[in-house]
Amino acid sequence: MPFDVDESIRTMAMRLPAGRNWIFLGCGLLAACGFTSNDGQPVGSKGLWVANGTNVVEYNPAQVGAGTGATAPHVSINSEVFGSPQGVAFDPMGNMWVVDTAANIKGTATPALYEFSAAQLAALATDNAPEPVAVITSAFVQGPRQIVIDVLGNAWIADPTANAVLTYTAAQLGQMGSQAVAPVLVISSDQFANPSGIAFDSAGDMWVANSGTAAAAGTTIVEIKKAKIPALPEMGTATPKVVSDASLSNVSGTVQAPWGLAIDATDSMWWTNSSTSTIESLPGVSTLAGSVVPSAPIGSTQINSVATIDQPHGICIDDVGNVAVVSSNGAFGIAVFGADQVKQGAPATFIVGKATTLDTPQGCTFGPTVK
């Protein structure tokens, strides 16, 4: 199963493959740095990592709380492997995984996922164009969009082109070098319609955001209970078909071509509505009962005549509840909402402008920050 809250970090470390330098970066993965932004909003311990055009950039916690400005990234990864990175995630030991719809694999644009080690991230100041330590391709990986990695180190990938959720085990991710490796699970469902976002709640239930078809059909967010998530096979590729346990459909603009999906520490689920340039949330998703309609979506405001939310794709949440929203259109801004003011509509921090180097950014995650 994807999440076992009783699994200890020590046990996970014992399961990791040998032959690598496993390190933690920044202020720590669990404790906040203990400072506030310039408007008093709490700032967490994690850096904001964004899949950005043809690279990946990071904004450190101080920058996330710095208010409005054309903030240059703290660090950038400019590896030649990047083609069109879509999503970013960290495994339990701080290694970064990127899913890419057009990775440069031997000169050919190829859907892939690849890894940069924690040691490589720590050395970005001296080498900002490292080669991945691992590259995985497969005929099953067709257009990966969002990736999450559970506490055991298994990767779950929403792939709208494959119309499926793909799963790689921690053991598979532990292999180094460039290899063709099939996922252990290719999960399909009649309730999938271009699955783009994926997240797990505290009960271990899986939520999938369906961006729908060009005709706007199938725009939903569906839940698959933990008990129905297929077990990970020891070998081979299983292709189970599942039936969702619950579905959120559009009511008054609440679910409109959802792209990114994130669930915070209180089990509030957040998603981006790309077609209407809004974000939405629903509290307590692990204990939902019956039919539930989310509250009115949050739309864009204007800061210096620039829309703060413009065809949003990525959405991610830090360790103190700040919500970052990545716009894939217009000025390519990143709006960061403090946990206690997100419903007010105006972000506490708005990163926008030429110096940001943002160019058609997609997915995001909060993870270890590079010192």
| Strand order, beta sheet including 155-159 | 146-149, 155-159, 164-168, 185-189, 241-242
Classify domain 34-367 at the CATH class level. mainly beta
pLDDT value at position 217?
58
DSSP 68: S
**What are φ and ψ of residue 208, in 5° steps?**
-130, 130
Name the maximum alpha-carbon separation found in the chain.
55
Q: Could you tell me the sign of the dihedral formed by the alpha carbons of 365, 201, 268, 193, in that order?
A: positive
pLDDT value at position 244?
93
Q: Which two tokens stand for residue 275?
A: 């077609």
What residue spans of the chain are helical by DSSP H?
Answer: 9-15, 61-64, 118-122, 170-173
The residue assigned the tokens 């921090």 is 349
Q: Of 290, 354, 291, 362, nearest to 326 (Cα)?
A: 362
Cα dihedral: 195, 289, 201, 234 (round 10): -70
The residue assigned the tokens 């990143």 is 334
DSSP 238: B
The CA distance from 368 to 23, in Å, is 10
The CA distance from 369 to 131, in Å, is 20
pLDDT value at position 28?
33
pTM of the model: 0.89
Q: What is the full per-residue pLDDT of the chain (371 aa) written as tens digits?
A: 443 433 333 333 333 444 433 333 333 332 333 334 545 556 789 999 999 999 999 999 999 999 999 999 999 999 999 999 999 999 999 999 999 999 999 999 999 999 999 999 999 999 999 999 999 999 999 999 999 999 999 999 999 999 999 999 999 999 999 999 999 999 999 999 999 999 999 999 999 999 987 555 568 999 999 999 999 998 999 999 999 999 898 888 899 999 999 999 999 999 999 999 999 999 999 887 656 778 788 899 999 999 999 999 999 999 999 999 999 999 999 999 987 766 677 899 999 999 999 999 999 999 999 88
Contacts of residue 156, Cβ cutoff 8 Å, sequence gap at least 6: 2, 147, 148, 149, 150, 165, 166, 167, 198, 200, 206
pLDDT value at position 289?
65
Q: Could you tell me the sign of the dihedral formed by the alpha carbons of 42, 43, 44, 48, in that order?
A: positive
pLDDT value at position 360?
95
Residue 261 identity? L
Domains of the chain: which residue ranges? 34-367
Helix (H, G, I), strand (E, B) or coil at 250: coil
The CA distance from 133 to 122, in Å, is 14
The CA distance from 256 to 216, in Å, is 8
